Structure 1
Amino acid sequence: MKILIVEDDAETADYVARGLTEAGHLVDRAADGREGLFLAGSGDYDVLVVDRMLPRLDGLGLVRALRAAGVRSPALFLTARTGVGDRVEGLEAGADDYLGKPFAFAELLARVNALARRPPLQSEVTVLRVGDLEMDLLRRSVTRAGRRIELQPREFRLLEYLMRREGQVVTRTMLLEGVWDFHFDPRTSVVETHISRLRGKLDRGFGTELIHTVRGAGYTIRAPDNAPG
């Protein structure tokens, strides 16, 4: 397995690289975010191990740039920033896992191996469509009937989650976990508020609704032709 370590602390990078090499993996290293972005941009790595606090380009910016460019190599943040907000922010940026420092190498190795076992994403799917609504995942753009719709990052993620499940009923719990990475109920109206805002942006001026409430169950997105008569 080919692994890229993006870490500016030489001692930590040496320790991780030595352990991964002893475990039979091929390891490359980058000492700052810009170099890491250049190397990882090739898409040749099975797993990326990335520190958050990096010179020139931080880990969040690195992973976001890779995801925006369509690079889907699994990424694990290895960092001293371990608060709940930090973990949520890292996962929202596009990371697949998060491990705090100090760490046990055995756990790091197990997590790296687990990421490598995940089935690859179908990278050829870069555009999602529901009726006249189109989402370009690479350009991070959304249009309906050719008209551009400006979305905030969370709205974009929410819409992507719904569009990938066109015609399916998506529950509030599924949205909290899949869009906000909450594995508990925050007891707020965050889902309802964002759904309302998203509906306003998608439906205003078009005359037909795309996002539908399924009473007592959740929400679904479907083209008008598929709506019940």
Structure 2
Amino acid sequence: MAISTAPSPDSPITDVIFDFCGVLFDWQVRSCLEGRFPDDVVDAICADDDPHGFFRYEDRMDAGEDFADIYPDVVREQGEEIARIFEYYIEHYGDALPRMLPGMEQLLRDLRAHGYGVWGLTNWSHETIHVAFDKYPVLDELLQGTVVSGVEKMHKPNADIYELALSRFGLEADRCVFFDDTAKNVAGANEVGIHGLLFSGAVAARDALAGLGVRL
């Protein structure tokens, strides 16, 4: 039986937009650092309260700042040892992306096969975004376009980056679904009229899409 190449006429959804880290990829800072630096230091860096500021500094990169401009702040605020570890992390970013999350490549393939638009929208540094595409070239095959915060100097959950994605890709907000693993980014999508959904795995994503009339 032939596979349909057009979205179901019963569904208002025509396009699905995906965050990257925590949705398409498993993102693990620990995978990059463990075994290369002392365990207690790695544990502190990866702690939920972020005492060494790795995620704060990375958020600044995601918002468009250059590593070279941030690094002196890391040295001043965290000391030379932590700064060198942060530099190592950025230089070996691919090691923090150990795998695509189970079922996600197939979900993207099924969406494309059934005529849905498939797009990316990620908070990511303009200096390291190439790592994701170099390590997982299937992204170039399956995503029809990606908006990157660090390139645009916009940042989820602010409305402007969602509106830019809609405009650039030629999409209607109420006909799009956006998956993100962070609640505030889902809320940001909802505020501009996109169907924002909190990601909890490929199976749940398929169920959520089915609930909106997407037939795969």
What is the TM-score of this pair, normalised by structure 1?
A: 0.29
- Higher RCO (Cα < 8 Å, 6 or more apart): 2
Q: Higher strand fraction: Structure 1 or Structure 2?
A: 1
Q: Which is higher, the Rg of structure 1 or of structure 2?
A: 1
Q: Higher helix fraction: Structure 1 or Structure 2?
A: 2
What is the TM-score of this pair, normalised by structure 2?
A: 0.31
